[in-house]
A and B are shown apart, each in its own frame.
Chain A
Amino acid sequence: MRILRVLAYGWLFRMKMLMRSSFNSWLGVLYPLFFATIAFFMFRSGASSKPLLYSSLGAAVMGIWSNTATPAGSALAQERWHGTLELEVAAPVHFALILLPLTIAMAAIGIYSMVATLLWGWIAFGIPLHITDPVAFVLAVPATVASIGALGFVLAVLFVRFRQAWALGNMLEYPVWLIAGFLVPLSLLPSWVRPISWLLAPTWGIRAIRGAALSGPSYGDIGMALAVGAAYVVLGILLVHRALHAARAKGTLSLT
């Protein structure tokens, strides 16, 4: 119960803090719209047989990753700059319980972007949002957000020793957009890329959301997104333990 309370309040506080930043809020909503607009123009003008809703959903989920990649990469650096990292590490709860709500909040901001993209597609391009399986769709969205937030959690821990981690997080934005199949079917990518795609939670997230909207129940993909996300959390907890122990032993926790 205590763990759930820490996670829930942590998420709420982080959401409030992120929403105070125009970079994380307004830009997080607006920036993916540019890519969505390009995708709409390209698919509308091209000879693809895919419905425009296919690209609309892909562009919508791109925003969730976009809102997670760069901020998650620099999450710990931000805590250092704020002077709060030592306090959080010293807190009696496990540090993972403090960091995980932050990265999930980053991904959750992407829901604004997702709604904005779907509305933009509907208003400007006349793309109707017909959902084949509304229940699966409603379940797929939070599952995708949670799993992408969990991926952000792993990134935040992995980049803890890099001073300019934001650049590494930023660098991962396009590759994940590409190989998770947001706008490009995985079958178009080289075959060696596909196993990498399967290891990425966003791949299963977009499959779940797109499946629920276009073809029907996608509970298998929802389950995969959650399972891969849970694996990230376990990996992140193991990594955070090692990283914090090393930083405390060497006295490098607050070094930027």
Chain B
Amino acid sequence: MTSVRVFFVGGLISFRALFGWLNPWVYIPSFLVAPIFQILLFVYIGRSAKLQSDSFYVIGNGLQYAAIPCLFAMANTIAGERNQQTLGYILITPARRLPLFLGRAIPVALNGFVVALFALVVGSAIVGTHIAASGYAPIAGVIVVSALACTGLGLINAAVGLVTRETAVLSNILFGGLLVLSGANVPVHDLPIVLRQISEGIPLTHGIAAARRLAAGSSFSSVLGLVGAEALIGLAYAAVGYLLIRGTETLSRRRATLERA
């Protein structure tokens, strides 16, 4: 029961405490306006390069932008505690680590879902791309899975945040890597073979591919394989992230670098 409370109530309270600064002055430019301009940028580059249709970039970048809240916010669940000098208090509690850290991931993934859905709907309306009305509900489902998968990668990012000072640098690099490799803008089959193989093993690649098929009119059952792959990848990243957090927590306690990194 305590673990359930730590998971849900603790997760919610920590999000409210760590992201008290996430007011409309930050949320609107960072999470609502920026993804629209990312979509527009790549739509126009796509038109200039004459590579893919507008909907290719709208869907790709709409989903990919979920990475911003998922990666940055997960890192901030560690770095933010450190900045507020509360990280020690958190890690000294007897609370089980699994609900403690995964509980923090749920509001983050939910925010990623909202950001990606908003970008997709508004981006489609601005650019004038057509998504079948019946496709929105299953696409929303795919976005949920993709946001959770991306939050799994965010957990790894958070773990690194325990032993490094500047979490924003790694978050930006991971975001850039996902932008190149997830197929958001460059079709995966156009990537060199090594990058293609990496692409198959990262969050968002399968989710974006599934969303594109759904937008084109495919049924949800036809993309179940892609959605399952996305979920499995997310689970794998979350498991690695959790183990890394435990490992780096031990390391930072042993070296007394918890507040110093």
A residues neighboring B (CB under 8 Å): 21-23, 26-27, 30-31, 33-35, 37-39, 41-43, 45-48, 50, 162-164, 167-168, 170-171, 173-175, 177-178, 183-185, 188-189
Closest 8 CB pairs of A and B: A34-B176, A46-B49, A171-B29, A174-B37, A46-B51, A47-B50, A41-B186, A184-B44
Residue of B nearest to A45 (CB): B190
Mask, B31-51, CB within 8 Å of A = 1, is 001100110111011111111
Q: Does B30 contact A (CB under 8 A)?
A: yes
- B172 to chain A minimum Cβ distance, whole angstroms, is 6
Which chain A positions have C-beta within 8 A of B176? 30-31, 33-35
A91 shortest CB reach to chain B, Å:
30
B173 touches A30 (CB 8 A): yes
Given A23-B169, A34-B179, A42-B45: A171 and B190 within 8 A (CB)? no
Residues of A within 8 A of B46 (CB): 42, 46
B179 CB contact (under 8 Å) in A38, A45, A164, A177: A38
Give the distance to chain B from A24, nearest Cβ to Cβ, in Å.
10
Q: A30-B173, A45-B190 are in contact. Are A189 and B180 (CB under 8 A)?
A: no
Is A167 a contact partner of B51 (Cβ separation < 8 A)?
no
Let me know if B169 and A171 touch, CB within 8 A.
no
Is the pair A46, B50 in contact by a Cβ cutoff of 8 Å?
A: yes
* Closest Cβ–Cβ distance, residue A42 to chain B (whole Å): 4
Dominant secondary structure at the B interface: helix
Q: Which of A37, A45, A188 contacts B47 (CB 8 A)?
A: A188
CB distance from B216 to the nearest CB of A (A): 20
| Count of chain B residues near A, Cβ 8 A | 35
A22 contacts B169, C-beta separation under 8 Å: yes
> Which of A30, A46, A168 is B29 in contact with, Cβ under 8 Å?
A168
**Chain B residues in 8 Å Cβ range of A23:** 166, 168-169
- Do B185 and A34 have beta carbons less than 8 Å apart? no
B25 pairs with A48, CB closer than 8 A: no
Listed in ascending order, the chain B residues whose CB lies under 8 Å from chain A are 21, 23, 25-26, 29-30, 33-34, 37-38, 40-42, 44-51, 166, 168-169, 172-173, 176-177, 179-180, 185-187, 190-191
Complex contacts, B179 vs chain A, CB 8 Å? 34-35, 38
Q: Smallest Cβ distance from A129 to chain B, in angstroms?
A: 20
> B37 touching A48 by the CB < 8 A rule?
no
Given contacts A39-B49, A41-B185, A174-B40, 12 further A-B contacts (CB under 8 A): A27-B172, A31-B172, A31-B176, A35-B179, A41-B186, A41-B190, A41-B191, A46-B49, A171-B29, A173-B34, A177-B41, A183-B41
In chain B, what residue has the closest Cβ to A166?
Answer: B26
Task: Check B41 against A38 for contact (C-beta < 8 Å).
Answer: no
Quick one: given A38-B179, A188-B47, are A178 and B23 in contact (CB under 8 Å)?
no
A117 to chain B, nearest CB (A): 13
The minimal Cβ–Cβ distance linking A165 to chain B, given in whole angstroms, is 9
Query: Are B185 and A42 interface neighbours, CB within 8 A?
Result: yes
Instruction: Check if A43 sits within 8 Å of B173, measured CB to CB.
Output: no
Contact of A174 among B34, B48, B49, B185 (CB under 8 A): B34
Asked, given contacts A42-B185, A163-B25, whether A37 binds B180 with beta carbons under 8 Å apart, the answer is yes
Nearest residue, chain A, Cβ from B177: A34
Known: A162-B25, A171-B34. A48 touches B44 (CB 8 A): no
A192 to chain B: closest CB distance in Å?
Answer: 14
A41 → B minimal CB distance (Å): 4
A27 partner residues in chain B, CB cutoff 8 A? 168-169, 172-173
Instruction: Give Cα A178–Cα B190 distance, bound, in whole angstroms.
Output: 24
Minimum Cβ distance to chain A for residue B54 (Å)? 12
What's the Cα separation between A115 and B21 when bound, in Å?
36
Assembled-state Cα–Cα distance A50/B45 (Å): 12
A-B contact pairs, 9 of them (CB 8 A): A23-B166, A31-B173, A38-B180, A38-B186, A43-B49, A45-B187, A164-B21, A178-B37, A185-B48
Chain B contacts of A31 at CB under 8 A?
172-173, 176
